[in-house]
Each structure stands twice: as structure tokens, then as C-alpha cells.
Amino acid sequence: MIPAGKILKKHAVRPRRRFSQSFLKDDNVARKIVGAADLRGQDVVLEIGSGHGILTRLMAPRVKNLLAVEIDPQLVAVLEEETGSRDNVLILEADILKLDLATLLAGHGGERKKIVGNIPYGISTEILFRLLTHRRLIASAVLMVQKELAERLTAAPGTKAYGIPTVLLTMYARIGHLFDVPPPCFHPRPRVVSSVISLTFRERPLVELSDENHFFRLVKAAFAQRRKTIANNLRAAPELGCKQEDLEEMLEKCGLNGRIRAEMLTVETLGRLSNELTTARRGAPSSGEEGKGEGRQSEEGADKESALEGTGNGGHGIVTDMLLEFPDR
Ligand code: SAH
């Protein structure tokens, strides 16, 4: 196989900044990424941002099908030339944020797909949230992101890096910060260090949530102003629908002092708090008697995934919509 660096030269590819193009040119790092993805012959892999195909070429011989998504037509042409002869590779010229992922991931056999990619850094968080939205169709993901984002996703409560992306993704996935990749491994060199992360979606969320939408809104509200207390942040969020007089009590029930800041709370605590507030909002008896509350039946009946995916917004769902407004993403 010709080295990655040579492919770029051979095709005279000029990196385009608007697509966050920074091509991996180190074949050892590429092998390490593919190794981390733990690919099997029966796997169907979705590669995001295939570029000139350094990962694509390595993965194609190892898997059943490879769906390679790339937005830039000049690179699609390169991919077609370099990997197009393999009939298990499907090259899709598309924007990963606009693609109908539900249909794509549900097709090509029933198994959950593996996701791999050295993804465009400008839209990494959006991509992660789209994967979260479609997590039931995904087994795992191995992705190259900015080191800063990798640190944020794996941050512990009480640290500055701990925030909305940490909480929402940790609720549904185990996240590993696998290894770092320095700028000289890329062309052009990025200004930041990169990291390869892994995401394995849990069978069940860390806490069984009675209303996922509420949880997302709560997390967003709780971190809205990081220096404010949780009580003040939640008070400023009428969309949570919790009565002011209930708030202190609910916080106490979760063993929380209202003067604490959201960044001190674990993912589990935020999940439990959302459940308490949801129950209170419905005017139902809390925790122990869960399930008897008014309105619970109908809401429970709704497909949980629909809460995430939403409709009429290109299938991006509430998480992505919310994310676009996040100050600290
Ligand atoms: N995987 C390659 C390229 C990484 S650079 C490598 O490791 O060398 C990121 C790639 O994502 C680029 O090829 C870029 O064109 C592509 N890309 C950028 N935005 C995209 C989008 N919205 N949808 C799909 N691909 C995108």
C-alpha cells in the first residue's frame, strides 16, 4: 500500500480550511486507530470524513461493509480512485450533519454499526450528539478529536472541563481517552494536539430517566451560568416546569444544597434530580411510588428515542438543537 503522504501528493489535494481538513499522514497512527476500533469481518463501519482514505484503505479489507462519508467532491474522487474498486466500500458524498443517519445506520444488515473517523474538529460536538441521538443503531465509535474535547468528555465533576457534553454523553456512553496524536502527524499541521477517543454506548443509561427531554433541559439550565448556584440556574429556567417552592425540597431530597454549583454534581445526581423534578411537576408522589403519577402513563408510552430525535428539524433532535445554543461547546 502506498504511504498516506504520497497519496496527497499524487492527487495534488489542496487542503480546504472550510471543511476543517487536516489529513493524517502517519500510517502508524492510522493502524493504531483502526486497531482500537477492534474490527471484525462481520462489521459494518461508518467512516466520517474519509478524506484521502488513509483509514478507509486500512479498514476496507477487514470488514463486511464500509460506508465512507465525505463532503468534499475533490476527495470523493480521490477515494473512488483509491478504494472504489472494492465492492464492500460505499462512498457517499454528503454532509454528515445533514445525512439521514437513521436510515443509513438501520440499513446494511441489522447489526449495530461501528463508527470510525478523524472527524472535522469544527463540528465534532455536533457529530457526537448526532451519534448519541442514534445510539441504538451504534455499537461503538473510535474518533479523533481535539485533545481539549477529549479532556472535556472524560472530565470529572468539580473540574473546569466538566460540562454539558460530559454529562449528556456519559449518561449514555462509556468514554475512553485512548491516546494523543501530535500536530506533525497531520498535513496541514493543526494548531492543537489531537486525541483518539472511544465511545461505547451503554445498554441502559446510567440512571433510568423518566423524561429524557427534561434531563437535557435540566443539564442545559444547570450549566447555563457556571458561576451561579444550581438553585439560581434552575430558578431562571421556567421551561423545566418546576414550582419554585418545590425546588429547594427536591434539591434536598437528592441530598443537595441549593448553593452548590452544577459542576460539582455527578451525572447520576443530575439524572436523579431530573427524575425528582419531573415527578414533582406532574404532581405525583415522588420516588418510591413512581409510576402512579398522573400523566406518567401517556408520557412513558411515547417512544423514548423520539424524545431525542424529534421531528421536523432534519432529524437532528433536541440534543443537537440545544447544543447549537450552548455557550461552552
Ligand atoms: N480521515 C481523513 C481526513 C480527516 S480531515 C484523515 O484522517 O486523513 C476531516 C475530513 O472530514 C475531511 O476530509 C473533510 O473534507 C471532511 N468533512 C468536513 N466536514 C464534513 C461534513 N460535514 N461531512 C462529511 N465530511 C466532512
* SS3 call for 179: strand
Residue whose C-alpha is closest to residue 277's, from 219, 319, 218, 228: 218
- Per-residue confidence at 282, pLDDT binned at 50, 70, 90? confident
- Per-residue confidence at 117, pLDDT binned at 50, 70, 90? very high
Closest ligand 1 atom number to CA of residue 22: 5
Rounded to the nearest angstrom, the distance between the alpha carbon of 19 and the centre of ligand 1 is: 7
Rounded to the nearest angstrom, the distance between the alpha carbon of 120 and the centre of ligand 1 is: 5
Please report the domains of the chain, with CATH numbers, ordered by start residue: 4-201 (3.40.50.150), 212-297 (1.10.8.100)
The answer to whether 10 touches 57, Cβ cutoff 8 Å, is: no
The answer to whether 81 touches 56, Cβ cutoff 8 Å, is: no
Rounded to the nearest angstrom, the distance between the alpha carbon of 195 and the centre of ligand 1 is: 16
For residue range 131-158, list pLDDT tens digits in order: 999 999 999 999 999 999 999 999 999 9
- Per-residue confidence at 327, pLDDT binned at 50, 70, 90? very low
What is the predicted pLDDT for the residue at 309? 45
What is the predicted pLDDT for the residue at 323? 52
Residue carrying the nine cell digits 495534488: 12
pLDDT for 290 beyond 50: no
What is the predicted pLDDT for the residue at 279? 84
**CA distance between the termini of the chain:** 39
For residue range 156-206, list pLDDT tens digits in order: 999 999 999 999 999 999 999 999 999 999 999 999 999 999 999 999 999
Residue 272: count of CB within 10 angstroms of its CB: 21
What is the predicted pLDDT for the residue at 9? 82
HEC sequence for 241-279: CCCHHHHHHHHHHCCCCCCCCHHHCCHHHHHHHHHHHHH
Q: Among 11, 33, 118, say which to mutate for ligand 1: greatest number of ligand atoms within 8 Å of CB.
A: 118
Give the mean model confidence (pLDDT) for residues 269-289: 76
Rounded-to-integer distance, Cα 250 and Cα 242, Å: 10
pLDDT for 319 beyond 70: no
